[in-house]
Amino acid sequence: MRKRNVFLFIQAALCILLCVLLSAGAVRLYAEGMTQRAAGNVESPVFTREAVLEKLTSLVPLFLLALGLLAASAVLNIRNMSPQVRDPESERNLACAGIAEPSEDMKRERETQKKLSWLGKAGAALCVLPAALYLCVPSHFESTQLEEVMGALLLHILPWLAAAFGLLCVTESLRVKSMERETKAAVMQRRNASSSAPRPGEEKRKNLNDEKRQRWIRGILLLAAAALIIHGVLNGSMRDVFIKAVHICTECIGLG
């Protein structure tokens, strides 16, 4: 087991190293190219095929080592552990299934979870609001200097998004804790009291109705899709797709 873990960590280190070297190589080539341009040679290319190949060639031994380790792991059957995780919500649902009258503790925990869920959503919405407001102000997007616009966009949006995600993560972790407490309470109650089984008949009926409704919606959406495609063929938007697909905008694929 320990040998296996060492192997996994070596592989991980190699992957990170390769990525860092590949990124650093590109950044370095860019920096060197820009220095040359700054020196007055405006026409000189930032990247050249020769320079890129030279950088890549220096990484070939590391690539080969990584490939060798990969082959060895396949032969020795060293694999990732199954990504099984605990799912507190399912555990809670399973523990609570069939409990007709939840205990006070369980009810309280349910309330806490509801409150936390709302708190998380409301807090996230509040955090996202300034970002949304920034997006809604046209003057922020008046300039066609896209690099500047994107830089400002990220600067104004990312902190708020990060705050929203942070808040959601915190409330979710608290909710999970509450779920675990509820599960415990449910298990205790099951031990003490008899439970009644859920009524599957009702669920089945509900499912049948759901299926029927879904079939209808699916049919309508299919018709709408067909209508949109036909309209697109007639109004020339299909041709637009073709034109964009056969003429590459060099910036769109990251060339420059």
Partner 1 sequence: MDKLKNWWRSHRPTTRRLAQVYCALLYNANLKGFVEGKIYTGPVKNVCVPGLNCYSCPGAVGACPLGALQNAAASTGARAGTYVLGILMLFGIILGRTVCGWLCPMGLIQELLHRIPTPKIRKSRVTAVLSLLKYVILAVFVLALPLWYGLRHNLPLPAFCKYICPAGTLEGAVGLLANEKNAGLFSMLGLLFTRKWVILLVIGLACVFCYRSFCRFLCPLGAIYGFFCRFALIGVRVEEENCTRCGACIRKCPMDVRHVGDHECIHCGACMDVCPTGAISMRAGKITLKASERASGLKADPVFEKEQEKRTRRGRCVWAVLLAVLLSALVWFNFLAPSGTEEDRVPVPSATEESTAPVGHAVGEQVEDFTIPTTDGGTFHLRETRGHVTVINLWATYCTPCVQELPYFSQLAKEYPEIRILAVHSGLVTEDDIPGYIAGRDWDGIVFAVDTEDGAVYSRVGGDALLPRTIILNARGEVTYNEAGSMSYEKLETLVKAAE
> Contacts with partner 1 in 63-92 (CB under 8 A)?
70, 73-74, 77-87, 89-91
Contact call for residue 235 and partner 1 (CB under 8 A)? yes
DSSP 76: T
Q: What is the dihedral of CA 147, 163, 177, 80, to 10 degrees?
A: 20
Instruction: Please give the span between the terminal C-alpha atoms of the chain, in angstroms, as a whole number.
Output: 48
From residue 18 to residue 57, the character string flagging contacts with partner 1 as x (rule: CB under 8 A) and all else as - is: -x--xx--xx-xx--x--------xx-xxxxx--x-----
Asked if 247 touches partner 1 (CB under 8 A), the answer is yes
Based on the shown chain and the rule CB under 8 A, indicate whether residue 2 belongs to the binding site for partner 1: no
Q: Can you tell me the distance from the alpha carbon of 173 to that of 245, in angstroms, rounded to the nearest whole number? A: 45
Count Cβ atoms within 10 A of the Cβ of residue 91 and give its class: 0-12 exposed, 13-18 middle, 19 or more buried: middle
Distance, CA of 37 to CA of 46 (rounded, Å): 8
6, 122, 137, 233: which one contacts partner 1 (CB under 8 A)? 233
62 interacts with partner 1 by CB under 8 A: no
Among 129, 141, 193, 209, binds partner 1 (CB under 8 A): 141
The residue (of 104 and 147) whose beta carbon lies closer to partner 1 is 147
Give 139's DSSP letter.
Answer: G
Select the residue interacting with partner 1 from 1, 38, 39, 252 (CB under 8 A): 252
Give the nearer residue to partner 1 in terms of CB position, either 71 or 193. 71
CB 202 to partner 1: min, Å: 11
Out of 64, 122, 125, 248, name the contact with partner 1 by CB under 8 A.
248
Name the residue nearer to partner 1 (CB basis): 65 or 238. Answer: 238
Judged by CB under 8 A, the residue of 54, 148, 165, 212 near partner 1 is: 165
For 146, the 3-state DSSP assignment is helix
Rounded to whole angstroms, the Cα distance separating 119 from 83 reads: 30
Alpha carbons within 13 angstroms on the beta-carbon side of residue 208 total 5
- Give whichever of 83 and 104 is closer to partner 1, judged by the CB atom: 83
Q: How far apart are CA 118 and CA 136, in angstroms?
A: 25
